Amino acid sequence: MLTFFDRLVEVNFTSAAVRMLLAVLCGGIIGMERTYKRRAAGFRTHILICLGAAMTTLTSQYLYLNLGYYTDMARVGAQVVAGVGFIGAGCIIVTRRNRVKGLTTAAGLWVAAVIGLSLGAGFYAGGLITTVIIILAEFCLAKLEYRLMDSAPEINLYMEYSGRPCLENVLKFCREKGMKLLDMEITRSASGDKSASCVILTLRLNKRSDKQEISQLLAQLYDIKGVEVAEEL
């Protein structure tokens, strides 16, 4: 198979068509997973970025090899990587409750651009192998990640409360349950209520707990006077 691609190293109509089609294929495969999870940057976005990156590298090669413009071919590709970084930054969102979303989507856009650059340069093996590895990581390793998160001994607790005594009672409750306070961050309330305070607690449990046990702990927090919102981040 790679012997077939060796014939397409030179820049001509056939090699350009193959590189563009492979860029569409690889970008689309990566974007399908994001579309399946209903992310903003999905199927079409990944195709456009991968195709645009491939066209950038291909154009640089064409200017250098066919038209005799002796310029640095890697310079244009470097600008693509930097430019995609700005697009990826637009996918990263920090919610009111300090949840960071969009990191995987931003990374997917960046790696789609890199794959496009490699395909446009004629490095077919690198682009195709990287695409396969990414798909395996997104579909297979995602399940492993969720299992690790479910069995993690630490939780991030978001809580809205009124009055300092309420926070002291919550911390006392956590100590009685054998939980260790690792970090505490007081922020603005996500509901916009100026009378309510907001705190994000990082707690280490005394044992591994499943979702049901954590839900029971959160339900018990509502029994403390002054607790208005309590949920796991």
What pLDDT score does 125 carry?
87
Mind giving me the DSSP string for 47-87?
A: HHHHHHHHHHHHHHHHHHHTS-----HHHHHHHHHHHHHHH
Residue owning tokens 């244009």: 76
What pLDDT score does 3 carry?
61
What pLDDT score does 7 carry?
66
What pLDDT score does 48 carry?
92
Mean pLDDT for back-to-back runs of 10 residues, the chain (233 residues): 63 84 92 81 88 88 72 75 82 72 86 91 88 87 71 77 82 83 74 69 73 77 82 77
Domain 152-232 falls under CATH 3.30.70.260: yes
What pLDDT score does 98 carry?
65
What pLDDT score does 131 carry?
92
Helix, strand or coil, per DSSP, at residue 229 = strand
What pLDDT score does 195 carry?
60
Least Cα distance to 155 among 179, 172, 131, 135 occurs for 179
**From-to residues of CATH 3.30.70.260 in the chain:** 152-232
Q: 200, 185 in Cβ contact below 8 A?
A: yes
* 184 φ/ψ angles, rounded to the nearest 5 degrees: -140, 125
Helix, strand or coil, per DSSP, at residue 100 = strand
Residue owning tokens 């995609």: 84
